Each structure stands twice: as structure tokens, then as C-alpha cells.
A and B are shown apart, each in its own frame.
Chain A
């Protein structure tokens, strides 16, 4: 390697990527990277570690199905900045999960709560349907509803004013996926879906994450890190060269 090339390398910048590939403005991330980056970004944006794991899970689930999970997570993190937990977490009643007084729910918090309650929600049994929302960036609900369908052994229907999505207990996904991807917020209804959901087999994808998304997530993720110091370098180990 030439001296110039070496000088050009910035060892302290974990977000640096390699030589840009022609015509692309972003980076191809593996699903694992998407999950880890979104986890760290969510933590950096103030989520608890356990919920940040849910954010990472959701982003990777969407990306695996060709949807822009990283952008959805970033948009949501921006949206939730400065809001207290009790403004964005759901109040769970027997037939609805709503925000407290006129607020708007975080889809990660709502999705996690739906999965946590699982069979307690009574879907497919006594409970015919659940009202949810308003919730922001609702595409992020899909991964959780898919898990909920699996946990309950039910096919689920998510219906809102402009569309319907079906989620199978086998992980399948069908319906107005593009429409939900464009929604910034909605109120919706979840119910058991009688009948099959045709299998939507998708091979895992590696996703081009746009530079803006990457930069936004990275700047949140960096908030989980501690600035370097001489003491901390010593704390990582030593160097010898025999």
C-alpha cells in the first residue's frame, strides 16, 4: 500500500466504508449488520437495551423481505426524540392498545407489547378484534405481528382505512405492504384471519442502505460509544511485536 493510501485511512472512523461502487450512494449491508446497527442506533437514541434489540429485530425482518427497515427505524427514532416513554408506550385494555391522552405510539413499543401479551390478547377466541393506535411508522409493526401470529398459531389480519395486510402463522406476508410502507401514522384493527395466507417465499436479501439512512443511524449508534483516551487504549490490551 502506498503512503498516500495509508494516510487516507482514518482508523478512528468506524463508519467509514470502502471505495464506493459506481453509481451507488450507500452501502450493501448484510442482515446481521442491519440488525446490529439498528440495535445500537435505537439504544443511542434512548431506548432500553431490550427494546433496542426489538428495533434491530424489526429492521432486519423487514430488510429480509425487501423493505427498507433501516430507514423506517431511523425515521421512527427521529420522530420519538424528546418524547418520554409514557407518551409513546401503549395502555393495554381488553380490546385496544392506545396511547395515553392524545399521544402517538411508538411501533416498536406497541409491537413488543403485542408480542409480550401474545395469547393473553385472546385473539381467535373471545376477542374478535383489537383496536390499535394511533401509531407512527406502522410498517415497523409487521415483524411483531408476524411473530404474534406464530406465537398464537393464528393467521392475522391488519386492517386500516387504506389497506389490509395478512400475516400467516408460518411467517408469510400478503397484502398492501407498499401502502403500509408509505404510512406515517394510522389507527388500525387486528383480527384473526380465517383462511390461508399464501406463502410469500423470499430469499434473504442484502440491502443497499442509502447514505442518508446510514449516516443517521450511525450518528445515533455512536452515542453508545465512549470517546477514545490513552487510558482506555491501555485498557484494551497491549501491543508487542516479536
Chain B
């Protein structure tokens, strides 16, 4: 579908932020989840369409070992999360990709699994990367317990008490996923298998469904073990406390290259979000119901910012700024909008651009989208990408035309002096260990000869330098015969021409580059909250915190 030609608000284009403003790491690293985030899209869909959820299999023993099936029954198809629960010795618990065992392992089954399917999956899913799944499966994932909170909650529930509120708030989840592999991994069905299904017509819907059902499992297994320990004395988790628990997620560097490897997809995510902001800013007035929706969203954001903790110095600074900004925003909007102010949302945005930190501005983006669902929710369906369609490059373009494109879209890269060590300090590579993506120090570590092509700024500059000594009328097809090493960058440069938000406009091998900025941007699109960096290379986040459970929507499924 061509979203551009279907755009019902062409007047919004004038309010759209430019890629040179949006696609900077400093700003991407301040991204907040919005109502267009993928888990929000999933929840809207299952609620609007009245999906039914239940748990037809719960075959878990007294040690918490066994298997369970969670069903999601939609209007056309059923999906089943198959969960395997293990008794993992503490010393084996690791969030690293190189771990080999987990507290629980999962796969999303396309349909309803038979006994044979479950047996086959039992032999493979617990092995994760070392196992094989089939085209009947759509994802593969695992989760580890928060040792601290999991044990505390079981103890309390077994004794007939509720967990300590401070403990719950400090951790925020019972289990954290350490990897969720989606389409086409380890034998799973390819993305093309599900690409035409309307219920999955937004990015990462299977993965989001898997995590949401996993959240249910984390509560179910905790209550199960509390009942084993406490017998009749045991109680169930208070629904209010339960609601505050999300699924934790621990994410390392592996996620960072994704946005760089999928430029068309990145463009579509960014474009949808930016178009949403532009539509809101383009409104000629602020209806009272929208204003009250804004105030509610602002108050929620302030509450979230108050509970959001991190010990990482960068995030601590950002959180201070965020809390200050939100207070200032609340103050500024107390009597807003003033009567007869043209484009009041735009005026608010322009005020924020002057007065708030980047963290505060990106928070405001999320807040002002919140009351405008009818205006922007349809954009969620413009966030998938047909990457194959953008693959074939145009060799009839001339050297001069490509030079012009590079100067227009990669101006930010062409001025960088890569002979300065700080501008080429890092290199991205893939480790032999489980093929884990890593970031090395070019001048300290071995392996730079095996650098991955994520150093886009330098690739663009190298291409520009080579093109500059070629006759301008030469077709790129001929240039590439002599210079196959530039093929990847030629392809990207042509993609960017049609997809303005496709490229992160920063040097990804610079000494001061922070991988967590890339990760925060991607995780915000997923819908992750409480972003908590543990270093510049890995983070903890929470998913679905404060949102309903499948069992809230269908209590009879858990009767």
C-alpha cells in the first residue's frame, strides 16, 4: 500500500521535523514509547477485535518444571505461546547471549500445537540457538528470573502475604527475557509467511504477543510455586501490584546494528512517528477533550518519571532533566491553550524546542500524541517495510548524480576526518562466540580487518572520494564493475534518496558514540519503558508495565 498517496492530512507535511534534526544519535537516544509503539498497537488490536485468551495446558510439577500453552484466539487465526519451565541452578543464570540454559524458554506456535508438536518442541526449544524449530513456529525466546524479586514474591504469597511494595517497585518484573528471536531464525517461519496477515500488519507483532503472554506466565509460575510452598495458606498476587509488574528485558549490543542494517524499516518507523507529530501540530485548535487527554498523559509521564530509576550517570542526568522539564511543562500548560491562539499544539511544540532539553522534547512528543488516537493510529500500518523492493539499485544513475545525492543526504558524513583517531576509534564486528555482535577498539584490539559495514559515514565518504575522480557522466553500473567494494554504499545512498529517515546521521565508529542511543530508539518503538543503561553497551528495560494482562481481558481462561 502506498501510504503517502493515502495520506488524509497533506497539510501536515509543513510541520514535519527534518531528518537532520531527528536522525541524530543524541535525539534518538532520548526516544520515548508512544501510542504507535508496537506493543501498544498489539494491545489496541486484541482489545478492539475481542481476541480470546486462555491457558489450555498447565503441566508444571512441584519444582516448577514442565510446560504450558497460552492461546491467543483472533478473528481469523489462533497463536499459541508454548512455554517450558526449568529448574535452573543459580550459577548457570546468565543474561548473556552466550548462556546455554535459562529459567524458562518459549516459542510462538502458529496455530494450536498437538501433543507431537509439544514433544518436538520440548526437545529443541530449551536449547534455544542450539536447537531447531520449524516453519510452524514464529519466534523463539527465553527468560530468567529476577532472583531478588521472584523469591521474595513466592515467599510472601506462600505465607499468605503480599510482596513488599518497595521491593516490587525497585525491580519491576518477575522475569526478564534475554532474547526474543523472530521470523526466520533457527528454522522458524519466514517473515513472508505472516506478511499478508492483517492482524500482524505492524512490526514485531508476533514478538510483542510472545512477550505479553510471557508476562502472564511469569505471574502464573510464581503463584504456582507459592501454592506448592504454602499450600492452602498461599494467596494470589494482588491485582494492583500485579499490574505494576512488566516483563524485564536485558539487551546487549546485538540490537544496535539492527537499525543500521534495516534502513527502509527505520525510515518507516521514524516517518510514521514524525508524521504523527506533524498532524497534531497542524491542528488549528485544541479541543477540550484533547486537552484533558493531554493533561492526563502529562500526569502519567510525571508519575513514570518519578518511578524511573537508573544508576548510570548519563541516564541520571537525563532523568533529572526530564523531571524538571515535565514540571516546567505542567506549569506552562496550566492555562494553555489561550483563546484564539492559532495552531496551539504547534505553539506548544515551539515553546518546548526553546525551553526543554531534548529528553523533555521527546517526552512531549509522546504526551501530545496520546490524546490523538483517531488522528494518528492508522499510521501504525505504515511501519512495516518491503525491503526486497528497495534492494535493486539503479545503475543508470550517473556518477555526477550520485555525488549530488551524497552531498545532499550525507553532508553530515563528508566533513568527518577519519584520519583523526577519535573519529575511527571503534569497529563493529561479529564474534566467533555464538555470532554475537560486538564493538572493538580499533587501536587496541585485533579484528578490525573483519569490520562489519556499519561505519556508514566512512563508507559514504570513501565512496564520495572515489566518485570525485571519475567522469561525471559514467553510469554507476560501469563504476561498480571497477569498484565492487562500493556496492553496499551505493545501494544505501539510493535508498536514502527515497527514504529520508533511513540513515542515522552520526559517526557510528567515533570514540564518543554510545550504542545505548541506538538501543533506546529501537526499544522505544517496541514500547519499552524505564530505560536503564548498565553500561554504554547494554540496558535493562521493562515491557507492558502498567498495562493489562491476557487474564484481565479473559478471566474465564484462567478460572
Give the shortest distance, in Å, between B257 (CB) and chain A (any CB).
13
Q: Check B184–A239 contact: CB distance below 8 A.
A: no
Give the shortest distance, in Å, between B45 (CB) and chain A (any CB).
25
Interface residues on B, range: 35 or more
Closest to A35 in B: B184
Closest to A15 in B: B435
Q: Check A50–B123 contact: CB distance below 8 A.
A: no
Q: Check A225–B430 contact: CB distance below 8 A.
A: yes
Scan residues 27-70 of chain A and give those whose CB is less than 8 A from a CB of chain B: 27-33, 47-51, 53-54, 57
Question: B98: which A residues are within 8 A, CB to CB?
Answer: 11-12, 233
Q: Check A48–B488 contact: CB distance below 8 A.
A: yes
Q: How far is the CA of A69 from the CA of B335 in the complex (A)?
A: 66
Q: Check A237–B480 contact: CB distance below 8 A.
A: no
Answer whether residue B314 sits at the interface, using C-beta atoms and an 8 A cutoff.
no
Q: Check B537–A116 contact: CB distance below 8 A.
A: no
Which of these, A11, A27, A53, contacts B132 with CB under 8 Å?
A: A27
Q: Check B189–A30 contact: CB distance below 8 A.
A: yes
Question: A227: which B residues are within 8 A, CB to CB?
Answer: 431-432, 447
Q: How far is the CA of A237 from the CA of B519 in the complex (A)?
A: 13
Question: B127: which A residues are within 8 A, CB to CB?
Answer: 9, 18
Answer whether residue B64 sits at the interface, using C-beta atoms and an 8 A cutoff.
no
Q: Check B395–A115 contact: CB distance below 8 A.
A: yes
Closest to B475 in A: A120
Q: Check A50–B94 contact: CB distance below 8 A.
A: no
Which of these, A49, A151, A236, contacts B253 with CB under 8 Å?
A: A236
Q: Check A18–B131 contact: CB distance below 8 A.
A: yes
Answer whether residue B391 sits at the interface, using C-beta atoms and an 8 A cutoff.
yes
Answer whether residue B445 sits at the interface, using C-beta atoms and an 8 A cutoff.
yes
Question: B488: which A residues are within 8 A, CB to CB?
Answer: 48-50, 53
Closest to B171 in A: A242
Closest to A31 in B: B190
Q: How far is the CA of A1 from the CA of B124 in the complex (A)?
A: 12
Q: Answer whether A9 and B100 are a contact pair too, CB < 8 Å, given A28-B134, A242-B146.
A: yes
Q: What sequence of 0s and 1s flags, for each residue 188-216 of chain A, a beta carbon within 8 Å of any chain B beta carbon?
A: 00000000000000001010000000000
Question: A32: which B residues are within 8 A, CB to CB?
Answer: 183-185, 190-191
Q: What sequence of 0s and 1s flags, for each residue 79-99 of chain A, a beta carbon within 8 Å of any chain B beta carbon?
A: 000000100011010000000
Which of these, B94, B129, B134, B391, contacts A206 with CB under 8 Å?
A: B134
Q: How far is the CA of A206 from the CA of B110 in the complex (A)?
A: 15
Give the shortest distance, in Å, between A124 (CB) and chain B (any CB).
15
Answer whether residue A17 sits at the interface, using C-beta atoms and an 8 A cutoff.
yes
Scan residues 427-486 of chain B and give those whose CB is less than 8 A from a CB of chain A: 429-436, 438-441, 444-447, 450, 453, 475-478, 480-481, 484-486
Interface centre among A118, A151, A237 (most CB of B within 10 A): A237
Give the shortest distance, in Å, between B87 (CB) and chain A (any CB).
9
Closest to B429 in A: A226
Answer whether residue B96 sits at the interface, using C-beta atoms and an 8 A cutoff.
yes
Scan residues 78-114 of chain B and give those whose CB is less than 8 A from a CB of chain A: 86, 90, 92-101
Question: A19: which B residues are within 8 A, CB to CB?
Answer: 123-124, 131
Q: How far is the CA of A28 from the CA of B489 in the complex (A)?
A: 32
Question: A33: which B residues are within 8 A, CB to CB?
Answer: 184-187
Closest to A148 in B: B392
Q: How far is the CA of A91 from the CA of B134 in the complex (A)?
A: 44
Question: B453: which A residues are within 8 A, CB to CB?
Answer: 49
Q: Check B447–A237 contact: CB distance below 8 A.
A: no
Q: How far is the CA of A32 from the CA of B450 in the complex (A)?
A: 23
Question: B185: which A residues are within 8 A, CB to CB?
Answer: 30, 32-33
Question: A57: which B residues are within 8 A, CB to CB?
Answer: 391
Q: How far is the CA of A239 from the CA of B537 in the complex (A)?
A: 11
Answer whether residue A113 sits at the interface, using C-beta atoms and an 8 A cutoff.
yes
Closest to B192 in A: A204
Q: Answer whether A18 and B253 are a contact pair too, CB < 8 Å, given A31-B184, A32-B184, A48-B487.
A: no
Q: How far is the CA of A19 from the CA of B244 in the complex (A)?
A: 40
Majority SS at the chain B contact face: loop
Which of these, A21, A54, A237, contacts B534 with CB under 8 Å?
A: A237
Interface residues on A, range: 35 or more
Which of these, B146, B188, B436, B441, contacts A236 with CB under 8 Å?
A: B436
Q: Check B450–A12 contact: CB distance below 8 A.
A: no
Q: Check B484–A50 contact: CB distance below 8 A.
A: yes
Answer whether residue B147 sits at the interface, using C-beta atoms and an 8 A cutoff.
yes
Q: Check B95–A113 contact: CB distance below 8 A.
A: no
Q: How far is the CA of A240 from the CA of B95 in the complex (A)?
A: 8
Which of these, A29, A49, A113, contacts B477 with CB under 8 Å?
A: A113
Q: Check B438–A235 contact: CB distance below 8 A.
A: yes
Closest to B120 in A: A21
Answer whether residue B319 sits at the interface, using C-beta atoms and an 8 A cutoff.
no
Q: How far is the CA of A237 from the CA of B391 in the complex (A)?
A: 33
Question: A10: which B residues are within 8 A, CB to CB?
Answer: 130
Answer whether residue A172 sits at the interface, using C-beta atoms and an 8 A cutoff.
no
Q: Answer whether A6 and B92 are a contact pair too, CB < 8 Å, given A235-B438, A235-B537, A236-B537.
A: yes
Answer whether residue A224 sits at the interface, using C-beta atoms and an 8 A cutoff.
yes
Q: Answer whether A235 and B440 are a contact pair too, CB < 8 Å, given A6-B101, A115-B392.
A: yes
Answer whether residue A119 sits at the interface, using C-beta atoms and an 8 A cutoff.
yes
Give the shortest distance, in Å, between A203 (CB) and chain B (any CB).
9
Q: Check A151–B392 contact: CB distance below 8 A.
A: yes
Q: Check B433–A224 contact: CB distance below 8 A.
A: no
Answer whether residue A102 sits at the interface, using C-beta atoms and an 8 A cutoff.
no
Answer whether residue B126 sits at the interface, using C-beta atoms and an 8 A cutoff.
yes
Answer whether residue B490 sits at the interface, using C-beta atoms and an 8 A cutoff.
yes
Answer whether residue B193 sits at the interface, using C-beta atoms and an 8 A cutoff.
yes
Q: Check B124–A48 contact: CB distance below 8 A.
A: no
Q: Answer whether A228 and B101 are a contact pair too, CB < 8 Å, given A48-B487, A118-B394.
A: no
Q: How far is the CA of A77 from the CA of B486 in the complex (A)?
A: 20
Give the shortest distance, in Å, between B105 (CB) and chain A (any CB).
10
Q: Answer whether A116 and B484 are a contact pair too, CB < 8 Å, given A9-B127, A224-B430.
A: no
Answer whether residue B491 sits at the interface, using C-beta atoms and an 8 A cutoff.
yes
Which of these, A27, A50, A242, contacts B491 with CB under 8 Å?
A: A50
Known: A6-B101, A32-B191. 14 other contacts (CB 8 A): A9-B101, A10-B130, A12-B98, A31-B192, A49-B453, A53-B491, A116-B395, A226-B430, A226-B438, A231-B440, A236-B431, A236-B538, A238-B534, A240-B95
Interface residues of B (CB under 8 A from A): 86, 90, 92-101, 123-124, 126-127, 129-132, 134-135, 146-148, 171, 183-193, 252-253, 391-396, 429-436, 438-441, 444-447, 450, 453, 475-478, 480-481, 484-491, 534-535, 537-538
Interface residues of A (CB under 8 A from B): 1, 6, 9-12, 14, 16-19, 21, 27-33, 47-51, 53-54, 57, 85, 89-90, 92, 109, 112-113, 115-120, 147, 151, 204, 206, 222, 224-229, 231-233, 235-242
Some 7 contacts from A to B, beta carbons below 8 A apart, are A11-B434, A30-B183, A50-B488, A116-B395, A228-B433, A238-B534, A241-B90
